[in-house]
Structure 1
Amino acid sequence: MKVLLPVDGSELSMEAVRFALRMRQGGLSLSAVLANVQEPASLYEMLVAHDPDVIDQVSAEAGLHALQRAQALLDEAGVDYECEVAKGDPAHTLIDISERFGCDLVVMGARGTSALRSAMLGSVSNEVLHASTVPVVIVKPVDPEGV
C-alpha cells in the first residue's frame, strides 16, 4: 500500500510517520511518499529577495530539511519511499501529490507548524480529509497525561 505522509517538521507530523510504521509492524505492506508543501512567498519576501530563484531555492531547501527526520525513520525501518517538495496551498497540493503518486492512503497530523493554521484547529488536515478520494488517517496529539 502506498501511503502519503505529509511532513512539515512538526512533532505531530513525525508521530504520523511513526503511526504508519506501527501499521507496517502490524502487517501492512507499506511504501511511502514523504511530502512537504511550502507556502508561496509573501509579498515582503519577494520584495526583499529581489530574485524569485533565490526564494525558490530557499523554499526547496527548507522542504528537504523538513523531510530529513522522517527519511531517517523510514531508512531505519527499511521502508521504500519517494520524496516530494512542492509549493502552493497545502491541502490542495497534498491532494494533487496523492493523486499523482497513486497513493492508497494519507496519514497526517491533525495540526501543522503554522500558528494561524493551528488556530484553525487543523484546517489543512480537515480539508484533505474532505477532499481526498482515498482514506485519510488523522493522527491526533498524544495526551501527555494519558487521559
Structure 2
Amino acid sequence: MTITLIAFDGSENAMRAIDEIVDTLDTSKLHVHLLNVCEPVQMNEVVFNEDPLLDILSIKKAREEAGMALLTPAKARLESAGIPFDVHVRTGNPAEVIIDLSREYHCDLIVMGTRGMGTIKNLLLGSVASKVIHLTEKPLLLVK
C-alpha cells in the first residue's frame, strides 16, 4: 500500500497533480490523504464584539468550510478513479502543515503543484513547494 499525501489548494497545478497520480500510479495499492491548508486567523481580521473568541472561531469555521468546499473537485476525481482517501482541512503555515501531516500518517509520497493560489504567480517554483522540498525527508512529486 502506498500512502500518499496530496496538498490541494484549488489551483490548476494542484488538479494536474491529482490527474498525474491517477494516471501514473497503481491506484489499486494507493491510499490518499487529501489536504487543504487554511491560513490562520489574523488579529486584524477580528471585529471585537462582545466576545472576540466567537469572532475568531467564526472566521476559523468559515475558512475550514471554504477549504472543504475547495476540495470538491479533487474528491470527485479520486472517487471516479476508485481511490480511497481521507480529507483533511488544517490551519497553519502550509509547508509545515504538509510536513506534519505526512509524518502523522506515515505517508510514502507527497504530491503537490509547483505553484498554487499564492499572490506571486510568475515564480517558477512556489514558496510552499520550495519550503516543503527543504523540510521533508519524504519523496516529493511536484507537478506543473
Normalised-by-shorter TM-score class:
0.7 to 0.9
Aligned-pair CA distance for 1:105: 0.2
Structure-2 separation of matches of 1:54 and 1:6: 24
What corresponds to 1:144 in structure 2?
none
2:70 aligns to what? Answer: 66
Match of 1:86, SS state, is: strand
TM-score, normalized by length of structure 1?
A: 0.86
The amino acid of 2:37's aligned partner reads V
Q: How does 1:1-147 map to 2 (within 5 A)?
A: 1-24=2-25, 29-47=29-47, 50=52, 51-116=55-120, 118=121, 121-140=125-144
Aligned length: 138
Structure 2 residues without counterparts, runs of 5 or longer? none
User: 1:69 is matched by which residue type in structure 2?
Assistant: P
Percent identity of paired positions between Structure 1 and Structure 2? 36
- Name the CA shift for 1:7/1:48 in 2 (closer, same or farther; >3 Å): farther
Q: TM-score, normalised by structure 2?
A: 0.88
Q: Deviations over 1:25-84 (max 9, x none)?
A: 5x7721100000001123332237841110111011011011110000000010000111
Task: Structure 1: give runs of 5+ residues left out of the alignment.
Answer: 141-147
RMSD, aligned CA: 1.8
Distance 2:6 2:29 in 1: 15
